[in-house]
Structure 1
């Protein structure tokens, strides 16, 4: 592979933003468009020591990534267990010897030996949406106890909304560091297409490329999904790409992260002729900083255009489904809604796998993971006293029934 996933200049600017925050040894919140996939860039940086040197990372700094996988809730013991596991990996990368299984002892030992810890946290959006900041309280406690710890939280949720901000500050009085990460640029999108063409040994035609860059620019996950569709059907038209269920599902997942206020604002803008209102000022500023809104000829335009298409098509999510969205993880919710759309119909494991892993299905496919996820969905539906029942059809797939 010779092509990097995104333009080197963009990657440098992104990482330099992270590194410039580390000397403060505090907790910082990096707000970005929902479902940006920043996890890949974080791992790219953490696992390549050459990049640490290139970007001037302070020596004796251990970088670790904590992905919470959009779980609705994480208990303290699980948080500490995962932190300990990731920190041990970081210690191993630095060739440091350590014996023991206690997180606090390990962090104390690193501090005594002059090591800083940079903790990158992703996958907490669901907890933030549920206004459950218990996890952040635990992280703040660690941050206050260890003056060698920096915590960078990446989220697709707008943290400065009144109800979210008040809860966040209640649990985290230090929450004053807010940063914005905008959409990837069109140069990054063009670069990503080249990267996938080389990786997958394929080539897309001019019309397909023009449609992707015009409608999906900045959303690498959408681009990857569209490229996978083209790989499977080289003559697929732009219209067919736009209407493919996997594209719609991926875009809907992004929209569902937004609060109702932001979704209503996007709906109003998507209809055209929107008149600015005082109550929308903060939201407009937020969406503009993320690159999701642009102003052309005095009017706000949703960007990229495919997002506007999805907002128009799917104006208001059903309140019942909104409740499911708050209880189920993203992957679980995608599977549930697909089964719901195909009520009383057996859905094969391959289709379920595509809903779980989307464009990464080839790399991540696991029969065990499918069974575990469906088991969690079934358990949560029962706990919610849902009118739906999930059944397994041996050798065939799964079916959702209405009681």
Structure 2
């Protein structure tokens, strides 16, 4: 099995973090190879002497899903008791692949803090997550910052050209069709080294073995591009298409690979997608104050409500705005309640942005 060099090196660095007992967040843009890298760990790190590695896999949005996976892995209904039993025997590291736009249950954060205080670096947590994790809001934000945002951080960047070619060859082997030599460079370049975008472009190529112009409305591609841009703030998306030069946004986008060293959007097809959306007037642009105040998920909700003033939106409609078309597989009443409560408080703290109203049994609407 040929593995991309970048992912091998990343897992190698992660091994050092695991051995040290440091909590670590492994973060990258949507479809950056996060899931693939997480799945490589058992192959490249079969074990660490004196340590129990607990692979919790991809966790859903509900509190119940998190605790069910923990009890299954520990073989104990009492998660705290099961973990303490293992910790008395040696080190324990939890490896978690956090789902798209999924919030961490706060009682898990509380248990994490308790075990850290009790056992120190004998207990550690490794989170694989997309960049939304840097903007998520919690009831106990200080606890989240201390445990997650202050953890050691490894970044998953877009692949270089050599590794992109390895990934493309994997797709060719899987689907049994090679890309014409004169089009390989274009597919690789336009994907920007994002494995998900690369796959979508390859699938378009398979339709007729020729490419004149990419179809950015193709469901296989737009699904990925939409999720990728949803994780970014309005200001950050404006920077990607050259509509803003905001320094803070540019630093963030460069750090996580959205911008190249030359300051260009990393994937030409993504820039084209954003430009088309801008020309169509898609979405209401937030002012700088609100853009900095709200999280990514809160912005989505506010924009949807703002474009439908005084119109009631159901919880299901709002859930789809947050989690996408397959929201029902990730829906969490708790997470949605948290988001709406936080949004209401933030809007109430500023004048001129409207009031979030709850219509019991029906949904929510924005009144200005």
TM-score by length of 2: 0.70
Equivalent of 1:118, from 90, 94, 106? 94
Q: Is the 8 A contact 2:34 2:129 kept in 1?
A: no
For the pair 1:65 / 2:61, whether they are aligned, the reply is no
Provide the residue aligned with 1:328 in structure 2: 320
**Shift of residue 30, structure 1, vs aligned partner:** 2.8
In structure 1, distance between residues paired with 2:109 and 2:212: 43
Provide the residue aligned with 1:52 in structure 2: 45
Q: Is the 8 A contact 2:70 2:79 kept in 1?
A: yes
**Shift of residue 195, structure 1, vs aligned partner:** 1.2
Q: Is the 8 A contact 2:34 2:156 kept in 1?
A: no
Equivalent of 2:240, from 266, 272, 293? 266
In structure 2, distance between residues paired with 1:41 and 1:325: 33
TM-score by length of 1: 0.64
**Shift of residue 104, structure 1, vs aligned partner:** 2.3
Provide the residue aligned with 1:136 in structure 2: 109
Q: Secondary structure in 2 aligned to 1:144?
A: helix
Provide the residue aligned with 2:251 in structure 1: 285
Q: Is the 8 A contact 1:119 1:149 kept in 2?
A: no
Q: Secondary structure in 1 aligned to 2:363?
A: coil
Provide the residue aligned with 1:385 in structure 2: 363
Equivalent of 2:231, from 250, 257, 260? 257
**Shift of residue 293, structure 1, vs aligned partner:** 0.8
**Shift of residue 67, structure 1, vs aligned partner:** 2.0
For the pair 1:313 / 2:276, whether they are aligned, the reply is yes
Provide the residue aligned with 2:9 in structure 1: 13
Q: More deviation in 189-198 or 119-128? A: 119-128
Provide the residue aligned with 2:146 in structure 1: 173
Q: Is the 8 A contact 1:136 1:171 kept in 2?
A: yes
In structure 2, distance between residues paired with 1:309 and 1:108: 52
Q: Is the 8 A contact 1:26 1:143 kept in 2?
A: no
- Kindly report which structure 2 residues correspond to 1:1-400, keeping only aligned pairs within 5 A, or say none: 2=1, 4=2, 6-7=3-4, 9-46=5-42, 48=43, 51-52=44-45, 57-69=48-60, 71=61, 74-75=62-63, 77-88=64-75, 100-123=76-99, 125-127=101-103, 135-147=108-120, 148-157=122-131, 168-174=141-147, 175-179=149-153, 180-231=155-206, 233-267=207-241, 269=242, 271=243, 276=245, 280-296=246-262, 300-315=263-278, 316-317=282-283, 319-320=303-304, 327-328=319-320, 333-334=324-325, 373=329, 385=363
In structure 1, distance between residues paired with 2:317 and 2:21: 34
Q: What are the Cα deviations for residues 205-248 of structure 1, in whole angstroms up to 9, with x where unaligned?
A: 134322211110321011122223333x2434241454423212
In structure 2, distance between residues paired with 1:167 and 1:108: 24
Which runs of no fewer than 5 residues in structure 1 stay unpaired? 89-99, 337-371, 388-403
Q: 1:185 to 1:114 in 2, by over 3 A?
A: same
Q: Secondary structure in 1 aligned to 2:260?
A: strand
Cα RMSD for the two superposed structures: 3.7
